[in-house]
């Protein structure tokens, strides 16, 4: 069995090596016109990426921002395709833990808007989105709440979960670009099934009514 595995690894390595060699050969045999076309395409891609980054910065991406009221929530969700919004309460100490992790992730994932809003200052919004457990993180894409992270159950059920665990969970919901392996959480030993961790919950529109999905409060 071990010998068969080693043979498979060697075979895979040979395939990758052959692909690299073929690409090197292709680049070496290119004439100046082909190289210039390749260079221009690469430059154009870099320019588009830079412009997109500037557009994101212009609407607040790259920072973890507190919203003053419910109106601001709807305005910000209109500006960004992907939004992560933390519904918090000052008296809930676990919200401080969420703040710490989202402050780290916001500048790392420029493609997503990271927000927070006090549920006590936004009762209409909290009721409309059926926010019961604090903290709750709403994961919004294209104007719809794709998923919720309710409490810490999806993050290992412990207060000392790593930022990578939350990053993985956001990646499972598709609200950030995750470069790791979505099929396995970065922290081993979780008793949660992959179905409960990976599968998005009920898809709900911000403008429409919400199905009740309440739970007991952590506090």
pLDDT, tens digit (0-9, with 9 covering 90-100), for 60-89: 999 999 999 999 999 999 999 999 999 999
Cα separation, 133 vs 86, whole angstroms: 11
Residue whose token pair is 């402050």: 103
Q: Is the domain defined by 62-205 classed in CATH 3.10.20.30?
A: no
The answer to whether residue 213 scores a pLDDT higher than 50 is no
CA neighbor of 148 nearest in space, from 84, 95, 195: 84
The answer to whether residue 149 scores a pLDDT higher than 70 is yes
pTM of the model: 0.68
pLDDT of residue 147: 94
The answer to whether residue 155 scores a pLDDT higher than 90 is yes
Domain extents in the chain: 2-56, 62-205
Name which of 47-61, 97-111, 127-141, 164-178 the model is least confident about: 47-61
Give me the chain's average pLDDT, please: 81
Q: What are the tokens at 104?
A: 């780290």
């Amino acid at each position: 069995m071990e010998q068969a595995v080693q043979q498979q690894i060697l075979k895979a390595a040979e395939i990758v090596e052959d692909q690299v060699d073929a690409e090197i050969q292709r680049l070496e045999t290119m004439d100046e016109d082909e190289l210039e076309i390749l260079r221009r395409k690469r430059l154009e891609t870099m320019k588009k990426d830079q412009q997109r980054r500037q557009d994101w910065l212009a609407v607040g991406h790259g920072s973890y921002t507190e919203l003053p009221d419910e109106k601001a929530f709807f305005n910000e969700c209109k500006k960004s395709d992907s939004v992560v919004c933390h519904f918090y309460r000052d008296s809930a100490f676990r919200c401080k833990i969420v703040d710490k992790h989202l402050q780290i992730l916001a500048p790392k994932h420029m493609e997503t808007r990271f927000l927070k809003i006090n549920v006590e200052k936004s009762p209409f919004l909290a009721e409309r989105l059926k926010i019961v457990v604090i903290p709750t993180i709403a994961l919004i894409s294209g104007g719809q709440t794709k998923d919720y992270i309710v409490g810490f159950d999806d993050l290992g059920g412990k207060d000392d979960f790593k930022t990578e665990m939350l990053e993985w969970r956001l990646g499972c919901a598709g609200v950030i670009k995750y470069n790791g392996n979505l099929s396995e959480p970065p922290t081993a030993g979780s008793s949660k099934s992959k179905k409960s961790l990976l599968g998005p919950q009920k898809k709900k529109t911000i403008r429409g009514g919400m199905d009740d999905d309440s739970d007991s409060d952590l506090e």
